[in-house]
């Protein structure tokens, strides 16, 4: 029974390892790995390609369609310090409102940029104010077009109604560019005419008695989220702040009698639904503090909610410069680190094997499983790997080995007091378990708190470190205990078990009565 | 069996000798030098007529007094450099020739080494393409926040260790001793960074903060492994009804875990030395700090955390507390 479960576990580990190695295999091995080893030529087997990263099929559900999508991950996602990325320079334009305090506006614009960077999951960016009216932001691993789309949007939301002429007729923009006007009743009957209507900002009188446009400024940032309605379609819910609720209440009281359409514009462009049409629902009753925008696709709803949540820029910003930049630590640093890391791991393996003999060799194999598995998780998640992340990874390698060292030291102790090898293996794992558990749980607690702090204070550096270390510790417990134990159990009953010296056990010492006596004394109060 | 516990005063003395100079240096004005990321500075962009290696530019800038400059190359061959604040100086005084500004000095020094500075079309212009002041790229709040996070983490660890050691007498002492060992390591490394700052212009940057976080994780991990053995031995002694003091238990536990402590440190030290010798120049300082911290973490778990448990039990420090008046601490029932 035990033999069978060990074989199953071995097969599981083997499959997992092969899969991880294929996932991790660099797309350009010649760059990172020594050239005296003949590396295999790139090629594909099913969904996994050596030298091209991984392509995994998964089932994607968006709206009512279910399709097979592919997760493609060609390269490890590396941070700005290791790989570089895109640099955008945004310039503030104060020509339209010259009395704004530029200094203050730029400080809050930097905050908006950082909130967006974090909200979109781009880790480890560098945001700086340059000169007196510019912001420079560097983002790792995304293209300039993506960066502009995510970070460069002004994100000014406007609530719009149909423009009327002096007679109260709706102004329609004809396909040839000319305008004409039509009675409201005729337009409201025809969805295609609504699409052609001209729009103008909805205004209302604020608490200070001044009439102003209703914009995203009046949104309550905490109250914006994407939900699904009863039909399962995504919708964007928003809440207004106190002043916004007053303004919107007044405006919708007017727009609901008779019901008139209201559209939403982002940065001067109408928000269009998944079908490409302008979203312009009819206001049927007075709404004040909250509203819903539906008809969006899920990804649009999510992008929109993030843009709104992170706020609009206090001044219009335009992208004046974009360029791809190299790694801040220098390109050589990555190659050197990868090579040094490989050598370091081999040195550790050699040390473990020489010191602990057969169990050390098995621990080295487990370490190999550990390294490939952790790197595969980093790549697939994906985790942005920075030099700080590499530090966390090195530490977790140390902890992975530490668990094995704890176990093997215990095994040797048990052998010394005359236990059988099988008994010593089991006792070694059982005795070492509490220290492995407590020390790793403590490390995980540190990670959770660091992550939470990083999240609270937008310190993405701290967050990235905590995530990397936590992943490493979790995988290391799996490899040190499950993998090493499986390897050792697989040997039970084989010939090597006859040679105790392979397990670092000095037979002479064990036979002597003094050894057992010494062990009892060392234990403080006798071993059971 | 090595008598660690009997020599604990020597270990305390040694720790103090190592920690106190750094702490003094830390407390004195300008205790720690903050790197360029934390302050405002200048960025400038330029392009050379001939292609230039980033590493060559890095060493040239270091010779010109900017060893900490952040240098990036854009994909079309322009260099973007961020340094401390440079005097821009196109503002000439009213009378007499303008003294050359730092900017102009740098422009001519770079041209001397690497050839003509050109504009984006490759025409010689002998000056930087762009030159502007920049704000701090990393808010100095990050240092404060990281410190706060570590403080909170310490509290949580204190609670966890106390709960985990509830089966032995005085579980809080285990938590407190582990945290003291942690502070020992943090102070030591900060002190070393401060002294290095005075001697070799070492500056703390975001990598240093990560190194500190790593050291915190390792220090707690290491202390707990030793404590776990103390717990096991204490429990077993209690079960057997044996009359052993905590000092004996701790000493036996240290001897039993010594092999493990040394071997784990050796593996981590081997890894770091490989990275230090072969890794890039830019991360070397960071790795050296890690190495010092990890060695301190191993030392403190054996020679500080465990010894404090014994000292507490034996009332070693009671005489130091005026309100205890030198009374020996009550033995737990």
CA distance B45 to B130: 5
- A401·B290 Cβ contact <8 A: no
> In chain A, what residues touch B71 (CB-CB under 8 Å)?
328, 330
Q: What is the pLDDT of residue A365?
A: 92
CA dist A464 → B37, B136, B208, B333 (Å): 18, 20, 15, 47
Per-residue model confidence (pLDDT) at position B97: 57
Q: What is the spatial distance between Cα A437 and Cα A473, in angstroms, rounded to a whole number?
A: 11
Distance between CA atoms of residues A447 and B77, nearest Å: 40
Residue B44, beta-bridge partner list: B81, B131
Within a 13 Å sphere around the CA of B164, how many CA atoms are in the beta-carbon half?
25
What residues have CB less than 8 Å from A62, skipping those under 6 apart? Answer: A297, A298, A299
3-class state of residue B46 by DSSP: strand
pLDDT at site B94? 53
Out of A333, A345, A465, name the one closest to residue B213 (CB). Answer: A465
For the stretch B34-82, pLDDT in tens is 888 888 889 888 999 888 888 889 889 989 888 888 888 888 888 999 9
Residues 6+ apart with CB under 8 A from A301: A226, A234, A235, A236, A293
Q: pLDDT tens string for chain A (528 positions)?
A: 567 888 899 999 999 998 888 788 776 666 666 666 666 666 666 655 655 666 677 776 655 566 676 766 777 788 888 888 899 999 888 777 777 788 888 888 888 888 787 776 666 788 888 888 899 988 887 788 888 887 877 778 888 999 888 888 888 888 787 888 888 888 888 888 888 888 999 988 888 888 888 888 888 877 888 888 777 788 888 888 888 888 888 888 888 888 888 888 888 888 888 777 888 888 888 887 888 887 778 777 888 888 888 777 778 888 888 888 888 776 677 777 778 888 888 888 999 999 988 889 999 999 999 999 998 888 887 788 887 777 778 778 888 888 999 999 998 888 888 888 888 888 989 989 988 999 999 999 999 998 888 776 656 777 888 888 899 899 988 888 889 989 888 887 777 767 777 776 665 444 444 444 444 444 443 333
A 288-327 residues with CB < 8 A to B: 323-327
- How many Å apart are CA B144 and CA B148, to the nearest integer? 6
Is B225 within 8 Å of A387 when comparing Cβ atoms?
Answer: no
Query: What is the pLDDT, as a whole number, of residue B271?
Result: 85
* End-to-end CA gap in chain B: 29
For position A457, what pLDDT does the model report? 64
Residues of A in contact with B237 (CB under 8 A): 524-525
> Angle A301-A305-A307 (CA atoms, 0-180°, nearest 5)?
120
SS3 at position A321: strand
Could you say which of B78, B142, B161 has the minimum Cβ distance to residue A461?
B142
Distance from CA of B106 to the nearest CA of A (A): 19
A235 at interface of B, judged by CB pairs closer than 8 A = no
Which candidate in B55, B81, B221, B242 is best for mutational testing of the A interface (most A CBs within 10 A)?
B221
Interfacial A residues in 111-150 facing B (CB < 8 Å): 126-131, 134, 136
Exposure string over B41-72, b if 16+ CB within 10 A, otherwise e: bbbbbbbbeeebeeeebbebbeebebebbbbb
Distance from CA of A353 to the nearest CA of B (A): 12
- DSSP H or E stretch at residue A476: helix A460-477
Please list the rounded mean pLDDT of every run of 10 residues in chain B (333 residues): 88 93 92 86 89 87 88 87 77 56 86 87 84 82 84 92 88 93 95 93 86 89 92 88 87 92 89 81 84 94 93 80 52 43
Contact A87 B74 (CB under 8 A): yes
Q: Which two tokens stand for residue A377?
A: 């998780």
Q: A478: which DSSP letter? A: I
Taking an 8 Å cut-off on Cβ atoms, the answer to whether A461 and B263 are in contact is no
Radius of gyration of chain A (CA): 32
Residue-level pLDDT at B297: 94
Interface test mutation site (partner A, options B4, B52, B136, B267, max chain A beta carbons within 10 A): B267
Q: What residues form DSSP beta bridges with A197?
A: A172
Asked if A388 lies within 8 A of B206 by C-beta distance, the reply is yes
ipTM given for this complex = 0.83
pLDDT of residue A521: 44
Residue environment code for B234-273, b if the CB has 16+ CB neighbours within 10 A, otherwise e: bebbeeeeeebebbbbbbbbbebbbbbbebbbbbbebbbe
Report A:164-193 residues touching B (Cβ under 8 A): none
Q: Which of B73, B232, B256 sits opposite A522 (nearest CB)?
A: B256
pLDDT in the model for residue A361: 92
CB contact under 8 A, A343 and B240: no
First to last CA, chain A: 28
What confidence tens digit (pLDDT) does each residue in A415-431 have?
888 888 888 888 989 98
- Phi/psi for A75 (5° steps) reads -135, 155
Residues of B with Cβ-Cβ distance to A348 under 8 angstroms: 267, 270-271
User: What's residue B96's pLDDT?
Assistant: 55
Q: What are phi and psi of A246, to 5 degrees?
A: -65, -45
pLDDT of residue A64: 58
pLDDT of residue B321: 65
Whole-number pLDDT of residue A353? 92
Helix, strand, coil fractions of chain B, as percent rounded to 5: 65, 10, 30
Is A406 in Cβ contact with B260 (below 8 Å)? yes
Per-window interface: B 204-223 vs A, CB < 8 A: 206-207, 209-211, 213-214, 216-218, 220-222
B41-48 vs B117-118, strand pairing mode: antiparallel
pTM (2 decimals)? 0.78
Which residue shows structure tokens 């990890």?
B294
Q: Which residues of B touch A347 (CB under 8 A)?
A: 270-271, 274
Token readout for A296 is 């969006």
Say whether B75 and A326 touch across the interface (CB within 8 A).
yes
String of DSSP letters for B79-116? EEEEEE---------SSSPPPPPHHHHHHHHHHHHH--
């Amino acid at each position: 029974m035990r033999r069978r479960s060990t074989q199953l576990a071995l097969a599981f580990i083997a499959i997992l390892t092969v899969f991880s190695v294929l996932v991790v295999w660099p797309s350009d091995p010649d760059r990172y790995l020594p050239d005296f080893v003949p590396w295999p030529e790139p090629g594909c087997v099913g969904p996994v390609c050596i030298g091209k990263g991984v392509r995994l099929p998964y089932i994607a559900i968006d709206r009512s369609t279910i399709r097979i999508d592919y997760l493609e991950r060609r390269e490890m996602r590396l941070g700005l310090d290791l790989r570089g990325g895109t640099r955008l320079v945004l310039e503030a334009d104060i020509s339209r409102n010259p009395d704004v305090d530029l200094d203050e506006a730029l400080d809050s614009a930097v905050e908006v940029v950082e909130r967006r960077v974090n909200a979109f999951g781009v880790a480890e960016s560098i945001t700086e104010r340059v000169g007196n009216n510019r912001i420079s932001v560097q983002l790792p691993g995304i293209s300039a077009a993506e960066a502009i789309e995510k970070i460069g949007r002004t994100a000014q939301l406007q609530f719009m109604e149909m423009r009327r002429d002096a007679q109260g007729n709706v102004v329609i923009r004809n396909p040839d560019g000319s305008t004409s006007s039509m009675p409201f009743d005729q337009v409201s009957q025809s969805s295609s005419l609504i699409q052609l209507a001209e729009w103008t900002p909805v205004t209302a009188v604020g608490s200070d008695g001044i009439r102003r446009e209703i914009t995203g400024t009046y949104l309550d940032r905490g109250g914006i989220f994407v939900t699904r309605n009863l039909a399962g379609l995504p919708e964007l819910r928003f809440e207004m702040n106190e002043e916004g609720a007053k303004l919107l209440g007044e405006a919708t009281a007017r727009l609901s009698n008779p019901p008139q359409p209201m559209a939403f514009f982002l940065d001067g462009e109408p928000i269009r639904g998944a079908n490409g049409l302008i979203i312009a629902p009819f206001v049927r009753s007075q709404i004040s503090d909250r509203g819903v925008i539906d008809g969006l696709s899920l990804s649009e709803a999510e992008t929109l909610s993030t843009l709104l949540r992170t706020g609009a820029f206090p001044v219009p910003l335009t992208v004046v410069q974009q360029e791809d930049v190299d790694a801040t630590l220098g390109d050589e640093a990555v190659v050197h680190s990868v090579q040094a890391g490989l050598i370091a791991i081999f040195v550790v393996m050699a040390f473990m094997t020489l010191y602990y003999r057969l169990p050390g060799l098995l621990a080295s194999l487990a370490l190999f499983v550990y390294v490939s598995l952790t790197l595969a998780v980093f790549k697939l998640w994906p985790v942005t790997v920075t030099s700080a992340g590499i530090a966390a990874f090195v530490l977790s390698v140390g902890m992975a080995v530490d668990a094995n060292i704890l176990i093997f030291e215990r095994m040797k102790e048990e052998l010394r007091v005359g236990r059988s090898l099988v008994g010593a293996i089991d006792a070694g794992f059982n005795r070492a378990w509490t220290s492995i558990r407590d020390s790793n749980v403590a490390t995980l607690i540190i990670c959770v708190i660091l992550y939470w702090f990083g999240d609270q204070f937008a310190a993405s550096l701290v967050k990235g470190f905590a995530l990397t270390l936590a992943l490493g510790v979790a995988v290391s417990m799996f490899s040190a205990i499950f993998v090493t134990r499986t390897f050792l159990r697989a040997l039970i009953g084989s010939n090597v078990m006859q040679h105790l010296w392979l397990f670092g056990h000095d037979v002479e010492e064990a036979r002597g009565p003094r050894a057992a006596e010494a062990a009892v004394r060392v234990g403080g109060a006798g071993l059971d | 069996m090595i008598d660690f516990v009997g020599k604990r005063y020597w270990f305390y003395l040694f720790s103090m000798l190592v920690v106190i100079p750094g702490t003094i240096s830390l407390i004195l004005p300008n205790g720690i030098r903050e790197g360029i990321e934390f302050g405002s500075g200048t960025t400038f962009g330029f392009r050379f007529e001939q292609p230039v290696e980033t590493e060559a530019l890095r060493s040239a800038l270091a010779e010109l007094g900017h060893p900490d400059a952040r240098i990036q190359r854009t994909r079309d061959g322009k260099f973007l450099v961020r340094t401390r604040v440079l005097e821009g100086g196109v503002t000439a005084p009213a009378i007499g020739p303008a003294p050359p500004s730092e900017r102009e000095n740098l422009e001519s020094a770079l041209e001397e080494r690497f050839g003509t500075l050109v504009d984006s079309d490759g025409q010689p212009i002998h000056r930087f393409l762009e030159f502007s002041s920049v704000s701090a790229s990393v808010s100095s709040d990050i240092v404060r926040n990281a410190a706060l996070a570590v403080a909170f983490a310490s509290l949580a660890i204190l609670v966890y260790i106390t709960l985990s050691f509830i089966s032995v007498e005085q579980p809080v002492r285990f938590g407190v001793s582990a945290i003291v060992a942690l502070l020992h390591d943090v102070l030591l490394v900060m002190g070393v960074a401060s002294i290095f700052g005075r001697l070799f212009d070492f500056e703390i940057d975001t990598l240093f903060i990560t190194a500190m976080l790593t050291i915190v994780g390792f220090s707690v991990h290491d202390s707990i492994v030793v404590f776990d053995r103390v717990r096991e031995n204490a429990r077993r002694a209690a079960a057997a009804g044996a009359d052993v003091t905590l000092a004996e238990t701790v000493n036996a536990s240290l001897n039993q875990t010594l092999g493990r402590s040394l071997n784990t440190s050796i593996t981590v030290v081997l890894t770091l030395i490989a990275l230090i010798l072969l890794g890039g120049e830019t991360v070397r300082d960071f790795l050296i700090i890690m190495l010092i911290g990890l060695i301190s973490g191993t030392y403190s778990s054996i020679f500080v955390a465990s010894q404090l448990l014994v000292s507490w039990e034996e009332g070693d420090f009671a005489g130091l507390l005026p309100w205890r008046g030198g009374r020996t601490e009550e033995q737990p029932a």
